[in-house]
Amino acid sequence: QSTFPEIENLFSSAKGKNYWQIVVRYPHCDLVRREDKKQLINWLMSLKGIAFKHALRTADKLIELAYQAYPVVSCSSIEVEQVQYYAHRLLNLSDQRENLIARMVKLAKSLPNHDLENLESIPGFAQTTAVRVLAELGDLRRFSNPNKINAFIGIDPGRYQSGEMDSNLSITKHGNAVARKLLYRAIGQIDNAAKTNPCHIADYYESKKLSSQTKGFKKIAIASIHKLIRTIYA
């Protein structure tokens, strides 16, 4: 925020390896202002997935943001080095994550029951999502029914019983929180993928959103996770 706050608006979100590589090279807006545009474009083209037209647009926007910026500190400030340090740390963590995911995929592919391939067949499930879900849930054959899986990840509903009253409460949230978050995000991925790859889970999610005026989207997503789990378990 002190060196080049506007750089956060360079892409749709301030994350990703390309974003952090740009931050490492241009941690202060003055560094962009001093850079020759041709050199800037050529360097951007060295980043993964950036061709000439994309590099040109990115360079134009980066230069525009640099001239809009009003930094609090100078280009020689220690804060500039701190920005580079933390950006490097994030890049290193990203590399470690990619290496770990690759090892997980290799291990999952060696399993005899093709569980990874089955998860990848679900529209919206990329390989990373599939292997992470597999890692968190493990072998689903150890569960006697889908409700046991719901309890394992903590989306089984709590209940309140008093005399003749028996009311469903919110989900218990006592289980595997990582698996719960993964599956919650997976519903959004499935819904986005449905534009080109329809799926009964996405149809269910959309129909619930249209038909329900009172339930929040989170509750509808949880109901969709129940359906997703039944699909995975089948």
pLDDT tens for residues 9-18? 999 988 999 9
Provide the pLDDT for residue 208: 86
Instruction: Quick: pLDDT tens for 98-143.
Output: 999 999 999 999 988 899 999 999 999 999 999 999 999 999 999 9
Mean pLDDT to the nearest integer, 197-224: 84
DSSP string covering the chain: --S-GGGGGSSSSS-SHHHHHHHHH-SSHHHHHHS-HHHHHHHHHTSTT--HHHHHHHHHHHHHHHHH---SS-TTSHHHHHHHHHHHHHHHHHHHHHHHHHHHHHHHHTSTT-HHHHHHTSTT--HHHHHHHHHHH--GGGSSSHHHHHHHHT-SEEEEEETTEEEEEEE---S-HHHHHHHHHHHHHHHHHTTTS--HHHHHHHHHHHH-SSS-HHHHHHHHHHHHHHHHH-
Residue 177 or residue 214, greater confidence: 177
Say what the alpha-carbon torsion angle 185, 190, 196, 201 is, to the nearest 10 degrees.
-160
pLDDT of residue 160: 34
Name the nearest CA neighbour of 201 among 185, 171, 180, 221. 221
Whether 156 shows a pLDDT value over 80: the answer reads no
Query: What local confidence, expressed as pLDDT, does residue 171 receive?
Result: 55
pLDDT band, residue 213 (cuts 50/70/90): low
Please check the confidence at residue 77 and state whether its pLDDT lies above 60: yes
Q: What is the pLDDT of residue 175?
A: 83
CA neighbor of 224 nearest in space, from 113, 124, 135, 114: 124
Reference 93, options 17, 180, 196; nearest CA is: 17
Query: Dihedral (C-alpha) 38, 43, 47, 50: value to the nearest 10 degrees?
Result: 0
The reported pLDDT for the residue numbered 215 is 62
pLDDT at 159: 38
For residue 65, give every residue at least 6 positions away whose Cβ sits within 8 Å of its Cβ, in sequence order, or none.
4, 6, 7, 9, 10, 29, 32
pLDDT surpassing 90 at residue 174: no
pLDDT digits (tens, 9 = 90+) for 121-132: 999 999 999 999
Tell me what pLDDT residue 117 has. 94
Grade residue 144 by pLDDT with cuts at 50, 70 and 90.
very high
Mean pLDDT of 174-193: 91
- What number is the average pLDDT over the span 35-47? 97
Average pLDDT value for residue range 23-38 = 97
8 Å CB contact between 175 and 152: yes
Residue 214 has pLDDT above 80, yes or no: no
Query: What is the average per-residue pLDDT within 138-159?
Result: 85
